[in-house]
Amino acid sequence: RLNIPFNHPRRESLLIREKLVDGFRKGIVAPEGLIAHGRGECFDYILGEKTQEFALRAIEAAAAAILLANHPVISVNGNVAALVPEYIVKLAEESGALIEVNLFYRTREREEAIKQHLLSHGAREVLGVGEDASATIPELFSERRRVSPRGILIADVVLVPLEDGDRTEALKRLGKFVVTIDLNPLSRTARTADVTIIDNVVRAMPLLVEKVRELKGRDREVLKEIISRYNNNEILQEALRFISHRLVELASRELRIRV
């Protein structure tokens, strides 16, 4: 166990790393997943490690899309399962979405470990494991294209946090409405999705659950209006403007730390 001082400036970030390392030791997180997390962390550092306004707007659109869906599916990989298992389960409960394991580096052991991890956090059913991943989506190679015929194959809205660009593109070509959570506004996934929540999955998932609860009772017309007003390109541009303004502002300050 790490002993991180409470006033450590990167305390939260170090605790998140511990969760991933823990997940790695349990066979839930792939070694490549640890590296992918580092790419995300870098963007989080630049974003100020806070949920920004453009993320809140995307979360609202994401909640509306999930509530309007006939067959919403939450696609889960090792990192997401290790970081926010309780919120995956809550989101599924609140929205009626199904949970499907969908791995970039698929092994039978890892998908089973992820399924057990989610079940132990209260998930009722976890699709996409073993024989259940019997359908294939075109244009992807080998194990990466296997999906559940009860899940992603027939889904209309798919939430794919921390997804790879190839697969996001494949989902779009299949006509899915794709929602992602990705800290990098420049990734292919961020730029291909219909709704991109540019935020850390550990902050975005609880907020998404809360938003789904809040919007649940609303008229379908109100939800449709939220989506028709929403423009993902504007969100991506705003995130980049935020980053560039923040860096310019920081660059005009005294940065040296005196100890």
Q: Which residues are annotated as a binding site for ATP?
A: 17, 39, 182-184, 188-189, 200-201
Give contact residues for ligand ATP (rule: CB under 6 A): 36-37, 39-40, 43, 162, 164-165, 181-184, 187-189, 200-201
Q: Collapsing DSSP states into helix, strand and coil, what is residue 138?
A: coil
Which of 26, 164, 206, 218 touches Mg ion by CB under 5 A? 164
Which lies closer to Mg ion via its Cβ, residue 173 or residue 216? 173
- Find which of ligand ATP, Mg ion, none residue 146 binds, CB within 5 to 8 Å per kind: none
* Burial annotation 195-232 (CB, 10 A radius, 16+ → b, else e): bbbbbbbbbbbbbbbebbeebeeeeeeebeebbeebeb
- Residue 27, sorted as left (phi over 0), alpha (psi -120 to 50) or beta, turns out to be left
Name residue 101's beta-bridge partners.
76
Name residue 99's beta-bridge partners.
74, 126
Interface with Mg ion: number of residues (CB under 5 A): 2
Closest by Cα among 76, 85, 132 to 104: 76
User: Nearest approach, Cβ of 30 to Mg ion (angstroms)?
Assistant: 13
Name residue 157's beta-bridge partners.
72, 177
Which lies closer to ligand ATP via its Cβ, residue 47 or residue 226? 47
- Select from 47-55, 149-157, 160-168, 239-247 the region that touches Mg ion (CB under 5 A): 160-168
d(CA 68, CA 216): 10
Residue with nearest beta carbon to ligand ATP: 40
Q: Which residues are annotated as a binding site?
A: 17, 39, 182-184, 188-189, 200-201
- Select from 75-83, 115-123, 159-167, 249-257 the region that touches Mg ion (CB under 5 A): 159-167
Which lies closer to Mg ion via its Cβ, residue 165 or residue 206? 165
Name residue 147's amino acid. V
Name residue 44's amino acid. D
- Find which of Mg ion, ligand ATP, none residue 29 binds, CB within 5 to 8 Å per kind: none
Which lies closer to ligand ATP via its Cβ, residue 91 or residue 223? 91
Residue with nearest beta carbon to Mg ion: 164
Per-residue three-class SS string for 24-65: HHCCCCCHHHHHHHHHHHHHHHHHCCCCCHHHHHHHHHHHHH
Which lies closer to Mg ion via its Cβ, residue 94 or residue 169? 169
The dihedrals phi and psi of 158, each to the nearest 5 degrees, come to: -125, 125
- Find which of Mg ion, ligand ATP, none residue 36 binds, CB within 5 to 8 Å per kind: ligand ATP
Other C-beta atoms within 10 Å of 33: how many? 23
Residue numbers at the binding site for Mg ion (CB under 5 A): 164-165
